[in-house]
Amino acid sequence: MQHRNLGSQGLRVSALGLGTMGMSMAYGASNDDEGIATIRRAHELGIDFFDTAELYGAGTGSNEILLGKAVKDFRDEVVLATKFGFDMSAQLLSPGFDSRPENIRKVAENSLRYLQSDHIDLFYQHISDPDIPVEEVAGVVGELITEGKVKYFGLSNVGPQYIRRAHAVTPVSVLQYEYSLFEREVEEKILRALRELGIGLVPYSPLGRGFLAGQVKPASEYPADDMRSWDDRWQGENYTYNVHAIEQLKNLADTKGITTAQLALAWLLAQGEDVAPIPGTRSTKRLEENAGAVDVQLSAADLARIAEILPHGSAGSRYPAAMLSSFTTD
């Protein structure tokens, strides 16, 4: 497994990480034993970067507890990232925000307990809070770093000016943002700012919530507790367009003897040494497939062909308008 440096504060992680959200929510019924087995197999494959959040346990800590249990025997060999910033008493699809200093500290203490750790390697603000200046947020995380409870500061789902303001108070090592062949918004302004400031990028949903893995069905065929049942990209004409794009990507992948998912992850890895995607999966077989992407070399012709197939990303919005409106894009 290859490794990459993210930010300028010393954070070093495997080129591919593992997102654990789907082991607890968003993709239908899950099984803890399966999730733990997948996390431990990831470690065996050299993956040492694991992503969770308070939100993924709906405030119960279940996803962090799962991750902490899985890595207990090799905690010092891995980087654990978690997040704060939501009001967990609110509805998940129309959440409130809570980045008050006292809540950041409360979430940190809970996460330390759930993860069975004396420190959080990477602590992200999951989403901006319109009532709390980012300078105040960055200051509190800086205090946690000084106290040894947190090693590195990260942001998520925010734009260039917000990043600059935070970075001026406490150095930001990483921005987590949706980025894939399907979702390219980060390229226009955000990626340029990250590179100017020396901040790494951690793409979430790097396989388009599974669409880029090539095994999909229309929204109506997913259960109600699977977010793909309401995702705009799985609906009507959007779905038809996206399936056609996947078919073309598969044809290209076939010529290289790789899978569509490996092609999509290799494309992301080719965007820069400061990019470390965190594909999520519950399956050890899918995990092993994803890990193989680090060995894929894409030629200039391959990259040009991918650009022809998906010049601007997918058809359909990545989130409902109400959720997107809560993201800070400036």
Active site residue ranges:
56
* Cβ(16)–Cβ(265) below 8 Å: yes
- For residue 6, give the 3-state DSSP assignment: strand
Is residue 124 within 8 A of residue 176, CB to CB? The reply is: yes
Any residues with CB less than 8 A from the CB of 76 and at least 6 apart, and which?
A: none
Q: Give, to the nearest 10 degrees, the angle between helix 32-44 and helix 62-71.
A: 40
Alpha-carbon gap, residue 81 to 179, rounded angstroms = 18
**Are residues 170 and 139 in contact, defined by beta-carbon separation less than 8 angstroms?**
yes
Contact (CB, 8 A) for 173 and 153: yes
Q: 248 φ, ψ to 5°?
A: -70, -40
Please report how many Cα atoms fall inside a 13 Å half-sphere around the Cα of residue 270, on the Cβ side: 18
Count Cβ atoms within 10 A of the Cβ of residue 131 and give its class: 0-12 exposed, 13-18 middle, 19 or more buried.
exposed
Give me the count of residues in the chain: 330
User: What phi and psi, each to the nearest 5 degrees, are found at residue 108?
Assistant: -60, -45
Question: How far is it, in rounded angstroms, from Cα 180 to Cα 190?
Answer: 14
Q: How many CB atoms lie within 10 A of CB 225?
A: 12
